[in-house]
Amino acid sequence: MKKTSTRLADGRELIYYDERDDAVREAADGRPLGPVSTTSEIREDRLLGDAVAIASHRQGRTYHPPADECPLCPSSGDRLSEIPDSSYDVVVFENRFPSLAGDAGRCEVVCFTADHDASFADLTPGQARLVLDAWTDRTAELSHLPAVKQVFCFENRGAEIGVTLGHPHGQIYAYPFVTPRTGLMLRSLAGHKERTGGRNLFDDVLADERAGERVVLEGEHWVAFVPYAAHWPYEVHLYPKRRVPDLLALDEAARTEFPQLYLELLRRFDRIFDEAVPDGADGTVPSGTRSPTPYIAAWHQAPFGALEGHEGVTRDDFALHLELFTIRRTSGKLKFLAGSESGMSVFINDVPPEAAAERLREVASS
């Protein structure tokens, strides 16, 4: 992997990640951009003890542009985008409309490929490995920022999820605090360790799932399963078999195997519904046209620094894992976060996890 760092016209950092060591990235950003102006601030909810990012400047962000105006495609001729070069493998850059900025953290965009019409599932294993290397590098770099406590790499896909740019991409949030979801995991981890005389909760959960009926895929170094208490209709957790706290700690064997299993998992997600899409004119379905499954793919990594409030637990007790889930519960129907979920954080899942695992095992990815 070759890494080339440069700056956009407004001073934001942009980094090219190339598979070839001889790649040259010298294109300059020719856009007349003004300085980035953000209003991000973090406010604490005194009743719940969590944090809310207030970012009113995001109201003006780019919203569903036509394909020929996509800001994530390479620049071409007079059409200048966020990526100055005419091609790229993987690119990461600071978000112009960040949810977190300055002392409140940092937000970055990760472009998986220059192909506007592709998806992560269309990548080759080599391309997927390059994305993994980019996630790892950014986790390392962002962890050194004084304000950052946790790095979160994720992908939102599909208009149903709320994606406003159709180009295949993800994001990285560097939070100045430990997120509430991670805090709950750490609390459970500490409690389990105390109750069981030092046993690790992640290890025990993984062992139980591997011995059960909800495993979807398993390789030499990774295993994917639908969790016992899945919140979402189709939800899969992907764990390295050797517990590590973050992406930086993965060994070469796990890095090499990851693309094959993850790409297979994404392709199965795209086939669980096999939903045809009418063309909008006479209701007919063009040959080969299918509605891609909307999903969120989220990496869970250990926070950096001391784990305050979680006595007896260290970073090494945490287990890196990826959670992949869709809000689609069946063809043409979405899972909405209604009263119980949104009002009380109590999920109600219409699809038994065992049935979801069986469905994901039976679908082919060809």
Give 149's Cβ-side CA count (13 Å radius). Answer: 14
Per-residue pLDDT of the chain (366 residues; tens, 9 = 90+): 999 999 999 999 999 999 999 999 999 999 999 888 787 899 999 999 999 999 887 776 777 789 889 999 999 999 999 999 999 999 999 999 999 988 889 999 999 999 999 999 999 999 999 999 999 999 999 999 999 999 999 999 999 999 999 999 999 999 999 999 999 999 999 999 999 999 999 999 999 999 999 999 999 999 999 999 999 999 999 999 999 999 999 999 999 999 999 999 999 999 998 654 444 444 443 444 457 899 999 999 999 988 888 888 999 999 999 999 999 999 889 999 999 999 999 999 999 999 999 999 999 755
Q: What is the pTM of this model?
A: 0.93
Rounded to an integer, what is the distance from CA 18 to the centroid of its chain?
A: 20
CA distance 92 to 170: 9
In 140-187, DSSP assigns E strands to 150-157, 169-175
C-alpha distances (whole Å) from 18 to each of 9, 28, 201, 231 are 22, 17, 38, 37
CA 166, 172, 173: angle at the middle one, nearest 5?
120
Q: Which amino acid is at 102?
A: G
C-alpha distances (whole Å) from 64 to each of 70, 130, 144, 166, 282 are 9, 27, 34, 7, 25
CA distance 42 to 45: 10
Q: Helices (DSSP H) in the chain: which residue ranges?
A: 125-143, 180-195, 201-210, 252-269, 344, 353-362
- The DSSP line for 208-230 is HHHTSS-EEEE-SSEEEE--TT-
C-alpha distances (whole Å) from 96 to each of 101, 108, 152, 306, 307 are 10, 9, 18, 31, 31
CA distance 298 to 153: 6
Q: Which residues are catalytic?
A: 169
CA distance 53 to 62: 19
Give burial (CB, 10 Å; 0-12/13-18/19+) of 209: buried
